Structure 1
C-alpha cells in the first residue's frame, strides 16, 4: 500500500521527469475536479496527499532504500495541490465556472512555478531537501508549493490590480 501511495498509483514510474509527470497528472485531475463543480476537493486533496505522503514515504524508503528515489512522487502531488489551492479557492469564491479555458492562468502559473521551485530548490526548499530523510522528501515539495502559490497570487494581483487597469 505504501508503494502505491508513494508512487501515486505508479505515476512515479513514468519517464523521463517523473516529478513533472506527477505534477501534470495532478493538475489535470484538479482541473477536472474543479470543472465538475468540486473546487474544494483540491485543497482537501492537498491535505489528504500530505497526510498519506508523511505516512507512505518513510515506509517506502525503509523497504526500498535510497534518500529520495525518483519514483516517489506523492510529495509532488501534495506540493502541486497546495500551489493550486492558492488560485482555485479565490476563483471558486468569485464564481468562476471554467478553470480550464476561462481562467487558465489559475492552473498554468501554479504548475510552472511549482516545477521551477521544485527543481531550483531556493532557500527553505533546498534546506528541506538537504535533510536527506523521509520528512525532507515531503517538506521540500510543500515549501515549493507554498512559494508557487504565493507567487501565483502575487502575479494575479499585479495583473488584475496594475497591468489590466493600466491597459484600460
Structure 2
C-alpha cells in the first residue's frame, strides 16, 4: 500500500513531494488521454481516487501523522481533476492535446496554488484528519483549479470578454 500511496515512490522525492506528485500526474494524464480518450481518463480518475483512499487509510491507520508528506496519490487525483476541462476541450474540438498547453500549465499552477494555500473547502477537508480528508482536500483543490482553467480558457478565447 505504501507503493500506491507514494505513487510508486515519487512521494519520497525531496523537496516538495506534493509538487513532484503533481508533475508526475501530467505525463500520465497525457498518455491516458492520448490513447484512451476523455471517458477512460475520467474512469481512471475515479479508480485512482478509490485506490488512493484505501491505500491512504491503510498507511495512516497506525501512525501519528494523518497526512504524511510522502502520500501523493491524492495529488495525482487532484491534478487529474484539474485537467478534466483540458481533456474534454481537446476531445470536443478534435485538437491535439499539445495545442492546449496553456491549459496544462494553468491546471498545474492553479492546482498547486489551491493545494498549498488550502482555501475554504480545501482547508476544511484537510483538517478532517482522516484518509478521506487527505483525498478530499486535493479533490476540492482540483475542482477549484478546473473552474479556474475553464474561466481562463473562456477569457483566452474571447467568450468571457
Fold in common (TM above 0.5): yes
Deviation at 1:157, TM superposition (A): 0.7
* Runs of 4+, deviation exceeding 6 Å: none
Give the unaligned 5+ runs of structure 1. none
Task: Name 1:15's counterpart in structure 2.
Answer: 14
Q: Does 1:151 align with 2:161?
A: no
Between the aligned partners of 1:94 and 1:137, the Cα distance in structure 2 is 35
Q: Could you tell me which of 129, 132, 142 is aligned with 2:129?
A: 132
RMSD across aligned positions (CA): 1.7
State whether residues 37 and 91 of structure 2, in contact with CA within 8 Å, keep that contact through their aligned partners in structure 1: no
State whether residues 42 and 84 of structure 1, in contact with CA within 8 Å, keep that contact through their aligned partners in structure 2: no
SS at match of 1:21: helix
SS at match of 1:124: helix
Deviation at 1:32, TM superposition (A): 2.9
Between the aligned partners of 1:121 and 1:40, the Cα distance in structure 2 is 29
Deviation at 1:133, TM superposition (A): 1.6
Q: Could you tell me which of 105, 108, 112 is aligned with 1:111?
A: 108
Between the aligned partners of 2:121 and 2:112, the Cα distance in structure 1 is 15
Report the CA distance shift for 1:65/1:107 in structure 2 as closer, same or farther (over 3 A): same
Task: Name 2:138's counterpart in structure 1.
Answer: 141
Normalising to structure 2: TM-score of the pair? 0.92
Report the CA distance shift for 1:60/1:114 in structure 2 as closer, same or farther (over 3 A): same
Cα distance per residue 1:75-114 (max 9 Å; x no partner): 1011111110122112211101x222x2101211111100
Normalising to structure 1: TM-score of the pair? 0.89
Between the aligned partners of 2:150 and 2:84, the Cα distance in structure 1 is 10
Deviation at 1:39, TM superposition (A): 3.9
Deviation at 1:63, TM superposition (A): 4.1
Count of aligned positions: 161
Task: Name 1:99's counterpart in structure 2.
Answer: 97
